[in-house]
Amino acid sequence: MSHHDKHDHDKHDHDKDAGDRHRKRRHMLAERPTTAFGIDIGGSGIKGAPVDLVRGEFAGERVRIPTPQPATPDAVARTVAEVIEAFHLPEDVPVGVTFPAVILHGVAQSAANVDPSWIGTDVEDVIAAATGRNVVAVNDADAAGYAETVYGAARSVSGVVLVTTLGTGIGSALVVDGHLVPNTELGHLEIDGHDAESRAAESARDRDDLSWSEWAERLQRYYSVVENLFWPDLIVVGGGVSKHHEKFLPLLQLRTPIVPATLRNAAGIVGAAALAADASH
């Protein structure tokens, strides 16, 4: 072996080692956990369950503890800790938490239907302090919408998917080719001089004692505006009322296909767990 050859040989070994290391690292980076934990912070209950990320289903029983009143950050964080303590979770399991407000890099920016003391609160920090774990906090509709696009009604749909949740408020999640555009807050579009959710949310149906067809008229107005602004390929309707979809979805006349969510109550927990797992690797 000439000096030259030896040099090449060494270089080759060196390149091979570097290549192996590179591949190993890529492998480590690509390895997504198969289980994570999701927590849904709602107005009446704080619910948590381990999630099987391959199937997009709960991997164990769900635990629910009533939301403390007043639902201040410290009281809620303590309840989140109680939910987590009900499980024997490995230290490094990704934990995702949903919250019904705009969440920018962990910090709550709005409080439409929650205690105003949340505005400016770093949700991830208060929960980390109470639980001793790193958590990822996301808007509740974003979590549910992400779950529907990865595992549910919008699975494998390419293009622009808009997921809306009809409940106390209207939540929205915009997903483009599988990527979530967070904090779209389309429940707060101003339509006919009103904050849209105050007229068209499920809580407005209840409050104003509307029949399904009366409520559908309000939904017609809402979704017409939304489809003319966003031109989505698909609209998915979630929230507890989506289990009665046959009472109102067929009454809507839209150009965009509109379908009920399929993950129902599990969507927030599953989506939060999935987003936390994505953030962890």
Determine if 40 is a binding residue for ligand BGC (CB under 6 A).
no
Query: Is residue 268 close enough to count as binding ligand BGC by CB under 6 A?
Result: no
Q: How far is the CB of 72 from ligand BGC (least distance, A)?
A: 18
By CB under 6 A, residue 107 contacts ligand BGC:
no
Q: How far is the CB of 58 from ligand BGC (least distance, A)?
A: 21
Which two tokens mark 75? 């009281």
Q: How far is the CB of 102 from ligand BGC (least distance, A)?
A: 6
CA dihedral 92, 98, 102, 106 (to 10 degrees): -20
Minimum CB distance to ligand BGC smaller for 197 or for 278:
197
User: What's the Cα-to-Cα distance from 65 to each of 43, 57, 135, rounded to whole Å?
Assistant: 11, 20, 19
Q: Are 77 and 126 within 8 A, CB to CB? A: yes
Q: What's the min distance (Å) between Cβ of 178 and ligand BGC? A: 20
Q: Does the footprint of ligand BGC cover residue 197 (CB under 6 A)? A: yes
SS (H, E, C) 9-42: HHHHHHHHHHHHHHHHHHHHHHCCCCEEEEEEEC
- Residue count, binding to ligand BGC (CB under 6 A): 16
Residue 100 engages ligand BGC in binding (rule: CB under 6 A): yes
**DSSP assigned state of 268:** H
Residue 107 CA to residue 104 CA, distance in Å, equals 5
Q: State yes or no: residue 273 binds ligand BGC (CB under 6 A).
A: no
Question: Which residue number places its CB atom closest to ligand BGC?
Answer: 169
| Among 17-25, 33-41, 134-142, 256-264, the segment contacting ligand BGC (CB under 6 A) | 134-142
One of 187, 232, 260, 268 touching ligand BGC (CB under 6 A): 187
Among 67, 121, 165, 262, binds ligand BGC (CB under 6 A): 165
CB 182 within 8 A of CB 103: yes
In this structure, which amino acid lies at residue 116? P
| Nearest C-alpha neighbor of 51 from the set 270, 266, 267, 262 | 270
| Shorter beta-carbon distance to ligand BGC: residue 50 or 183 | 183
Listing DSSP states for 175-206 in one string gives: EETTEEE----GGG-EETTEEHHHHHSHHHHH
Stretch that binds ligand BGC, among 63-71, 81-89, 124-132, 136-144 (CB under 6 A): 136-144
Ranges within 207-266 binding ligand BGC (CB under 6 A): none
- Binding stretches for ligand BGC (CB under 6 A): 100-102, 110, 112-113, 139-141, 165, 167, 169, 171, 185, 187, 197
